[in-house]
């Protein structure tokens, strides 16, 4: 008779002897890890419902059902490999999300080289608690050692008895066949179950609150909200394969006409006023400053200005206080692309990497055709963001990358901005005028860990925090900007060059408390959205005219048409979607997430991409207003993003141009 103490022992024995014990354990563990990731996303609106849990379990069954077809040992090995792979994906996504606020997609993976180059940044993005993601490996190992020990003891006990007679061995053969059959049926059953509990809820979502999500695909977070992480990666891979290896979706004539009409109208609205051509044949120097945000312009910490040089420059420049970055996953490259080509970046990946072979109307190319010598300057590896290929395609005469600079001031990722500007000015002085120079800085890049020797700001309570370090880096970048201006004056460039300075994107520091502490006031959702999406723009005209603060809404897409305007080159023949900063008329700025503003209203979308779930703000009161007021501009925002995506992905510009030419 079994004693009561034997009961748990027997239960444990039965449990580990249960054929699918490891499989169930595996499913639970991966489910836990998906939850861990989810709980660490810190994103607004991402709620996990019971149905999401069902999808998560279903998607785990779908990636692993086939292991049930394997014999026990093979299955154990397969589950270990799958566990390692899935943990790797979850962990990489977590780290990537902490920096980019997004998930890794296939196009991003194709830039894997540069993920590695994030180096220090990656270290700062890994937290101690992430060890939870591998805690099971230790338990898993212990269980396997235990199992091995248990089975050995059992086998020894069995072999110490008699060998089974021949008839028993043949019975074992038929038992093996029935075991195989049962494995097959179990695996199949789990696949069907996985399919039903994954696709059922997804179909339900896609028919209710997520209508059109898979077609529109505004934002990866929205997709994740519907499909969960594993489903998101599956869909992303499918989307990539379809885009690059499947048939390209042909746009109908009607769709093309809509695009043509939109550009026709936009060209008229971009009409030129008195300043058209006022700076014809001036040099143009554009500086795109890394992670340069608008919220600290004109601000002080402990009585010290964060950006004293920028603030001083504002006195005889145009400062656009409501200028937005319009970037997506392609970060610096997106800021570059949208500024130079006046098109929206893509919803996933970087245009530089995905479609460098397609045709765009870019500022360097147009200026080149107008007699300018054009150069891009960036003291980093030329392959990063596929710049080498893209800059050639964009029509630059020169691309000065890291190898063209002397590393005499090593800072952060590469050369310090001060030396970068100094050396760039020397290169510019060798160029024929007028020139167009595009400089991309780097010293204020995440994780903002500049050496003590160049830190000049006392950040007080922010000392040694990433936010404090960010302010330090910006202070350094600003000092470099001051030296650039001095250098331009010294080299005789100040009076014949348009200087256009803007930030590329936010700083990847999302903690609201830091901004509240720095600005000394509580912030609303609208405030935070503006803070994270606004970058400063400063335009210094050769004669210092038109100085002042301009608060009209504007964005990176506006750069190319605006500079063309000042230089007296009409942007009408080109496929550009931005506004002309120097022309009258209504301004409308659309961000890649689908957020938009016209200066009166401000719309923040929700990740489920359902218009009604977004928030419509009245900017005069800064209070939420009737969502209906945002409906029409929302449709226009959606249309613009779609037009831009079509233009880029289907390489439509050459076709539209040849159509326009034959129509004349
Ligand atoms: C590196 C620089 C940084 O060349 O452009 O890119 P980011 O990480 O900011 O996209
Ligand atoms: Mn950047």
Distance of CA 658 to the CA centre of its chain: 34
Alpha helices by DSSP H, 297-347: 308-313, 331-341
Is 3 among the domain residues?
A: no
pLDDT for 180 beyond 80? yes
**Residues 288 and 212 reside in one and the same domain:** no
For residues 64 and 26, the answer to whether their CB atoms sit within 8 Å is: yes
275 Cβ below 6 A of ligand 1: no
Ligand 1 atom at shortest distance from the alpha carbon of 384: 4
**Residues 516 and 369 reside in one and the same domain:** yes
pLDDT for 64 beyond 50? yes
Ligand 2 centroid to residue 61 C-alpha, Å: 39
Report d(CA 32, CA 67) in Å as an integer: 20
- The percent of residues above 90 in pLDDT, for the chain, comes to 68
**Residues 167 and 300 reside in one and the same domain:** no
For residues 480 and 450, the answer to whether their CB atoms sit within 8 Å is: no
Rounded mean pLDDT of the chain? 89
Among 212, 245, 278, identify where a domain stops. 245
Is 4 among the domain residues?
A: no
pLDDT the model gives residue 593:
94
**Residues 240 and 260 reside in one and the same domain:** no
Long-range contacts of 136-144 (CB under 8 A, 24+ apart): 136/29, 136/32, 136/33, 136/83, 137/83, 137/87, 140/29, 140/80, 140/83, 143/16, 143/25, 144/76
Residue closest by Cα to atom 6 of ligand 1: 332
Is 500 among the domain residues?
A: yes
Query: Can you read off the two tokens belonging to residue 64?
Result: 């692993």
Phi, psi values for residue 615, rounded to 5°: -120, 130
Average pLDDT of the segment spanning 115-144: 83
DSSP 535-546: --EEEE-TT-TT
Ligand 1 atom at shortest distance from the alpha carbon of 333: 10
Beta bridge partners of 284: 436, 498
Phi, psi values for residue 176, rounded to 5°: -65, -40
pLDDT the model gives residue 48:
66
Residue that wins the pLDDT comparison between 109 and 338: 338
Return the DSSP state at 201: H
Residue 564's nearest CA partner among 502, 500, 505, 504 is 500
Ligand 1 centroid to residue 331 C-alpha, Å: 7
DSSP 97-128: HHHHSS---HHHHTTHHHHHHTTHHHHHH--G
**Residues 291 and 226 reside in one and the same domain:** no
Residues 6 or more apart from 537 whose CB is under 8 A from it? 319, 320, 323, 500, 501, 502, 554
Residue in the block written with tokens 């007080």: 460
Query: Can you read off the two tokens belonging to residue 121?
Result: 């940044």
Residues 6 or more apart from 273 whose CB is under 8 A from it? 582, 583, 584
DSSP 420-460: HHHHHHHHHHTSPSSEEEEEE--TT-TT----GGG-----G
**Residues 34 and 171 reside in one and the same domain:** yes
380 Cβ below 6 A of ligand 1: yes
Ligand nearest to the CA of 114: 1
Among 245, 276, 299, identify where a domain stops. 245
Query: Residue 644's domain is classified under what CATH number?
Result: 3.40.720.10
Residue that wins the pLDDT comparison between 270 and 60: 60
Residue in the block written with tokens 């890394």: 290
Residue that wins the pLDDT comparison between 111 and 454: 454
Is 491 among the domain residues?
A: yes
Residues 6 or more apart from 617 whose CB is under 8 A from it? 526, 601, 602, 603, 604, 623, 624, 625
Question: Across the chain, which distance is largest between two alpha carbons, in Å?
Answer: 105
**Residues 191 and 330 reside in one and the same domain:** no
Alpha helices by DSSP H, 451-557: 466-490, 512-519, 525-533
**Residues 263 and 218 reside in one and the same domain:** no
C-alpha atoms less than 13 angstroms from C-alpha of 663 in its C-beta half-sphere: 8
For residues 418 and 398, the answer to whether their CB atoms sit within 8 Å is: no
DSSP 149-177: HHHHHHHHHHHTSPPPPHHHHHHHHHHHH
Query: What SS3 state is found at 242?
Result: helix
**Residues 502 and 629 reside in one and the same domain:** yes
Report d(CA 359, CA 305) in Å as an integer: 43
240 Cβ below 6 A of ligand 1: no
Ligand 1 centroid to residue 222 C-alpha, Å: 25
pLDDT the model gives residue 389:
85
Beta pairing, strands 373-377 & 323-324: unpaired
Residue 309's nearest CA partner among 336, 287, 277 is 287
Return the DSSP state at 294: S
Report d(CA 146, CA 130) in Å as an integer: 26
325 Cβ below 6 A of ligand 1: no
For residues 331 and 100, the answer to whether their CB atoms sit within 8 Å is: yes
Ligand 2 centroid to residue 18 C-alpha, Å: 53
Is 61 among the domain residues?
A: yes
For residues 433 and 283, the answer to whether their CB atoms sit within 8 Å is: yes
pLDDT the model gives residue 229:
95
What count of other Cβ atoms lies within 10 Å of the Cβ of residue 544? Answer: 12
Q: Distances from the Cα of 514 to the Cαs of 83, 289, 295, 520, 528, in angstroms? A: 37, 22, 12, 10, 11
Among 216, 245, 274, identify where a domain stops. 245
**Residues 188 and 258 reside in one and the same domain:** no
pLDDT the model gives residue 147:
79
Residues 6 or more apart from 179 whose CB is under 8 A from it? none
384 Cβ below 6 A of ligand 1: yes
Q: Distances from the Cα of 343 to the Cαs of 75, 274, 536, in angstroms? A: 50, 26, 19
Ligand nearest to the CA of 99: 1
Domain with 128, as residue range(s), is 11-245
| Residue 231 confidence class, pLDDT cut points 50, 70, 90 | very high
**Residues 298 and 203 reside in one and the same domain:** no
Query: Can you read off the two tokens belonging to residue 357?
Result: 């072979």
pLDDT the model gives residue 175:
75
Query: What SS3 state is found at 396?
Result: coil
Q: Distances from the Cα of 386 to the Cαs of 103, 114, 330, 537, 570, in angstroms? A: 20, 10, 11, 26, 30
3-state secondary structure labels for all residues of 620-633: CCCEECCHHHHHHH
Query: Can you read off the two tokens belonging to residue 181?
Result: 């059959």
**Residues 422 and 274 reside in one and the same domain:** yes
Average pLDDT of the segment spanning 417-435: 97
| Residue 556 confidence class, pLDDT cut points 50, 70, 90 | very high
Is 188 among the domain residues?
A: yes
Report d(CA 151, CA 112) in Å as an integer: 43
Ligand 1 atom at shortest distance from the alpha carbon of 440: 5
Report d(CA 202, CA 62) in Å as an integer: 14
Residue that wins the pLDDT comparison between 159 and 20: 20
Query: What SS3 state is found at 389?
Result: helix
Is 1 among the domain residues?
A: no
To the question of pTM greater than 0.85 for the whole model, the response is no
pLDDT the model gives residue 178:
82
pLDDT the model gives residue 168:
53
Is 585 among the domain residues?
A: yes
Q: Which of 100, 122, 332 to mutate to test the pocket of ligand 1 (most atoms within 8 A of CB)?
A: 332
pLDDT for 549 beyond 70? yes
Number of domains in the chain: 2
Ligand nearest to the CA of 503: 2
9-23, 190-204, 379-393: range with highest mean pLDDT:
190-204
């Amino acid at each position: 008779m079994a004693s009561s103490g034997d009961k748990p022992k027997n239960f444990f024995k039965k449990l580990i002897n249960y054929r699918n014990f490891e499989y169930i354990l595996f499913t639970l563990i991966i489910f836990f890890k998906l939850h861990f990731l989810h709980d660490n996303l810190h994103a607004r609106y991402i709620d996990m419902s019971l149905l999401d849990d069902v999808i998560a379990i279903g998607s785990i069954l779908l990636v692993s059902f086939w292991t049930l077809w394997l014999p026990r040992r093979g299955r154990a090995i397969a589950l270990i490999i799958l566990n390692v792979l899935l943990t790797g994906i979850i962990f990489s996504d977590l780290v990537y999300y902490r920096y980019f606020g997004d998930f890794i997609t296939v196009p991003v993976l194709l830039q894997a080289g540069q993920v590695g180059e994030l180096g220090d940044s990656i270290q700062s993005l890994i937290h101690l608690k992430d060890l939870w993601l591998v805690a099971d490996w230790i338990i898993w190992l212990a269980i396997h050692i235990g199992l091995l020990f248990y089975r050995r003891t059992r086998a020894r006990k069995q072999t110490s008895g008699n060998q089974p007679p021949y008839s028993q061995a043949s019975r074992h053969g038929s038992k093996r066949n029935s075991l195989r059959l049962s494995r097959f049926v179990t695996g199949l059953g789990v696949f069907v179950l996985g399919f039903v509990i994954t696709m059922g809820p997804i179909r339900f979502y896609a028919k209710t609150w997520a209508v059109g999500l898979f077609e529109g695909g505004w934002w990866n977070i929205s997709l994740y909200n519907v499909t969960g992480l594993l489903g998101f990666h599956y869909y992303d891979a499918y989307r990539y394969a379809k885009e690059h290896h499947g048939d390209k979706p042909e746009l109908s004539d009607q769709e093309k006409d809509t695009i043509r009409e939109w550009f026709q109208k936009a060209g008229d609205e971009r009409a030129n006023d008195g300043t058209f051509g006022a700076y014809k044949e001036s040099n143009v120097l554009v500086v795109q400053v890394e992670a340069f945000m608008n919220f600290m312009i004109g601000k002080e910490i402990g009585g010290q200005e964060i950006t004293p040089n920028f603030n001083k420059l504002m006195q005889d420049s145009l400062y656009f206080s409501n200028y937005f970055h319009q970037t997506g996953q392609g970060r610096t490259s997106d800021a570059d692309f949208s500024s130079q080509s006046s098109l929206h970046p893509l919803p996933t990946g970087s245009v530089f990497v995905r479609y460098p072979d397609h045709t765009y109307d870019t500022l360097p190319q147009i200026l080149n055709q107008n007699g300018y010598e054009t150069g891009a300057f960036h003291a980093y590896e030329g392959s990063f963001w596929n710049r080498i290929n893209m800059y050639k395609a964009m029509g630059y005469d020169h691309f000065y990358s890291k190898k063209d600079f002397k590393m005499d001031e090593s800072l952060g990722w590469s050369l310090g901005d001060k030396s970068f500007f100094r050396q760039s000015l020397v290169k510019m002085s060798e160029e024929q005028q007028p020139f167009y120079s595009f400089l991309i800085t780097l010293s204020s890049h995440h994780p903002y860990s500049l050496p003590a020797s160049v830190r000049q700001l006392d950040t007080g309570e922010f000392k040694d925090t990433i936010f404090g370090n960010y302010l330090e880096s910006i202070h350094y970048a600003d000092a470099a900007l001051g030296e650039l201006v001095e250098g331009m004056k010294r080299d005789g460039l100040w009076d014949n060059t348009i200087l256009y300075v803007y930030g590329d994107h936010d700083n990847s520091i999302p903690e609201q408390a830091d901004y509240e502490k720095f600005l000394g006031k509580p912030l609303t959702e609208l405030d935070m959205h503006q803070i994270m999406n606004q970058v400063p723009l400063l335009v210094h005209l050769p004669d210092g005219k038109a100085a002042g603060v301009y608060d009209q809404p504007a964005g990176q897409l506006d750069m190319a048409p605006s500079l063309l305007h000042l230089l007296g080159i009409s942007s009408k023949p080109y496929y550009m979607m931005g506004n002309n900063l120097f022309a009258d008329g209504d301004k409308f700025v659309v961000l890649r997430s689908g957020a938009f503003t016209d200066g009166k209203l401000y719309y923040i979308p929700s990740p489920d991409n359902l218009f009604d779930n977004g928030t419509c703000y009245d900017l005069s009161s800064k209070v939420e207003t009737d969502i209906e007021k945002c409906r029409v501009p929302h449709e226009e925002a959606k249309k613009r993003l779609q037009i831009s995506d079509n233009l880029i992905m289907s390489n439509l510009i050459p076709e539209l141009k040849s159509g326009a030419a034959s129509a004349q």
